Chains A and B, each alone.
Chain A
Amino acid sequence: MKFQNRLSALAAVALVASLGLTACGGNSDGASGSSGGGKTTVTFLPKNLGNPYFDTSDAGGKAAVDEFGGTYAEVGPDTATPDAQVPFINTAAQQGVDALVISADDPKAICNAIGTAQSAGTKIVTFDSDTSPDCRDLFINQATAEGIAKVQVDEIAKQIGDSGEIAILSAAANATNQNAWIELMKKDLAADHPNIKLVDTVYGNDDDQTSFDKTAALLQAHPDLKGIISPTTVGIAAAARYLSTSEYKGKVALTGLGTPNQMREYVKDGTVTSFALWNPEDLGYLAAYAAKALVDGTITGKEGDKFDAGKLGSFTVGADATVLLGDPYVFDKSNIDKFKF
């Protein structure tokens, strides 16, 4: 190889090495001056951006942060995968934010990144979808998993006459909350509804087009299907849209977790009879206040700790450092117009 190329290669190595060493010089203590006086910084990291459910919940979080005078930021990946969430956790650690409010795409995969953030002084609060309990400081649960599973199974049983084939259209295959609910649904079906058979579980990855196509495939592959449960707001909206233009409208029941705004026209035109949810705005609001309480030291996540959550009142931390918001609520034609989210 030419002499000047070798020379330039050596020069390059020397230059970059020297630069690397100078940058290395800033190797001060890990817990850099993050929240040294001033506003509490809270960053929301949902499963993915562009999901109306998280838009609402994060808006609730923003309202809370504005109320207690902190700084709010929302970041997130485009696809609901855990390795896409890791860079944002890393950036939050670098920026030294006070609290990170996460809806996790996987129970264990992001734990390493969370560990680095925690050692940089960030408090970690999970909401909506948990990580494994040793990874985070607090979990805000919207309702008990048993309650969420039961309400959906009850609704579908009511609508198909308690017997027949059903299928589940879920979100991402690893999402903690989805898997918890599906497990409980299977148990509930086995215990209380022996004539209902769960024939398939498909995954729409919280992507609208994928959920749409998967619904079409479900109906093609199982011509005797009587009902579909979709415990994800993106999935149920896409499935409703497909069903309303298909010949199965009215013949295949659809229920699950959906937002009133997205589902209103399908409830009105008869594709969907009823579905359930809680108020995501309240969930985000509560999560932000819980994060503030952690940062201020008002609570430490121990069972029995009490803290105040603005207009929602006062809450107590339960077992496993979990805070419960309330119960799921069933929407149908009679009450859907009252809600605007």
Chain B
Amino acid sequence: MTDLMLRPSRVSPVQRAAGTVLRSREVAVAAVLVAVILVTTLKSSSFLFSSDGWRDLLLTPCILVPLAIGQTVVIVTRNVDLSVGSVLGLTAYLTGRLFLDHPGLPIVAVFVIGMLAGAVLGAVNGVLVAFGKVPALVITLGTLYIYRGIFLTWAGSNRINASDMPEGFLNLGTASILTIPVLIIIALVVLAVVGYVLWTARGGRELYAIGSDPDAAKLYGLPVTRRVLTAFVVSGALAGLAGVVYTARYGTVSSGAGYGIELQAVGAAVIGGVAIFGGSGTVWGAAIGAFLLVTINRALPIVGIQDFWQQAVVGALIICAVVLDRVLSVRQARRLVEARELS
């Protein structure tokens, strides 16, 4: 094994590429997802093969996927954003109010306004974290309270009802193109864009550098403050998008909208291979992790386990993922040390 690190590899490039892909965390999580779907379909074939089943399988994760993507962008820089649940609730209510107060608004405009509102809320977080030099955990904990308080004070005891919204918007909640729901297509487009930028653009790669070693990044001259601020703005904007999607899917917005979903977003990212200490992980993994969490939640009652146990399953998965990451990184470090001592 140490040979591979000392001499040029004897394995062909194609084999190496295949090996990397197959051994990657993303493929492992995808395999688990496929296994869960298979087991559930064996128990009840309508889970996959009925039109409702296929639609719901793809549609239900449409809220968690943008949140997980945004959370990845932040976690990669060695921060965390716990306020996304409150941002989702606030923008969901904002969407409803926009339709109520300005009936003629085009749907695309509502999406844009929702994302902008989320971006502003994320920018507040980013400014406090990047310039205040305070751990993101504490700041986003505070803004979690503040944003939810603002949302509830604004909403009072009003709710947004399905009858307040135009037909076209509500239909978006179940419309499909070629049997794939529109809302999940939106999420996949976002995934592709963010994934591409994070993987290839210099700004995206710098986020990984900042997460791996913030001091070295600063010494190297990377614009750390600007990048961290951007990361939080992106996370906020995606949470805003998730809020608009939430309103389209559920049709009503009550005071509990988005409550507790930030932990699911962090969980989805961690399960998908994003290291909680930053510096590694991809948005594809986080998206697959989000799919996995939501599908497990829907599959449990069909397999016969009361869905009360869903949170326990999520918690166990997170701990396994983090322990696995640690074990693998310790083994990798040990191998590298051996290789170094042998050379």
Contact = CB atoms under 8 A, between A and B. Distances in A.
**Do A and B share a complex?**
yes
Nearest to B307: A217
Given A49-B255, A78-B152, A219 B52 contact: yes
Nearest to A261: B163
A208 B161 CA distance: 10
B255 A245 contact: no
B50 A247 contact: yes
A209 B256 contact: yes
B53 interface: yes
A262 B160 CA distance: 12
B301 A221 contact: yes
Contacts of B250: 208-209, 212
Given A50-B159, A78-B256, A241-B162, A221 B302 contact: yes
Contacts of A208: 159, 250, 252, 254
A246 B161 CA distance: 19
Interface string B141-172: 00000000000100101110111000000000
A209 B254 contact: yes
Contacts of B53: 220
Nearest to A238: B252
A247 B254 contact: no
B227 interface: no
Nearest to A218: B301
A265 interface: yes
Contacts of B302: 220-221
A131 B283 CA distance: 51
Contact of A207 (B50, B51, B52, B254): B254
A216 B159 CA distance: 22
A217 B255 CA distance: 23
Size band of the interface chain B makes with A: 20 to 34
Interface string A232-254: 00000010010001111000000
A209 B52 contact: no
A223 interface: yes
A79 B161 contact: no
A289 B257 CA distance: 36
A138 B44 CA distance: 50
Contacts of B174: 245
Q: Main SS of the interface on chain A?
A: helix
Contact of A223 (B44, B152, B252): B44
Interface in B31-87: 44, 46-47, 50-53, 56
B52 A241 contact: no
Contacts of B251: 241
A294 B220 CA distance: 77
Contacts of B56: 216, 220
Interface in A258-282: 262, 265
Given A208-B252, A245-B173, A247-B51, A223 B163 contact: no
B136 to A, nearest CB: 27
B163 A265 contact: yes
A148 B186 CA distance: 45
A220 B301 contact: yes
Given A50-B255, A208-B252, A246 B44 contact: no
Nearest to B152: A78
Interface in A187-208: 207-208
Contacts of B97: none
Interface in A208-234: 208-209, 212, 216-217, 219-221, 223
Contact of B157 (A55, A245, A246, A247): A55
Contacts of B157: 49-50, 55, 76
A52 interface: yes
25 contacts: A49-B255, A50-B155, A50-B158, A50-B159, A76-B157, A78-B152, A78-B255, A79-B256, A209-B256, A209-B257, A216-B56, A217-B298, A220-B53, A220-B298, A220-B301, A221-B44, A221-B301, A221-B302, A223-B46, A241-B251, A246-B52, A247-B50, A247-B51, A247-B52, A248-B52
Top 7 A-B pairs ranked by shortest CB distance? Answer: A49-B157, A245-B174, A50-B157, A208-B252, A221-B301, A50-B255, A78-B255
Given A78-B255, A221-B301, 11 more contacts: A50-B158, A55-B157, A76-B157, A208-B159, A208-B250, A208-B254, A209-B252, A209-B254, A220-B46, A220-B298, A241-B251
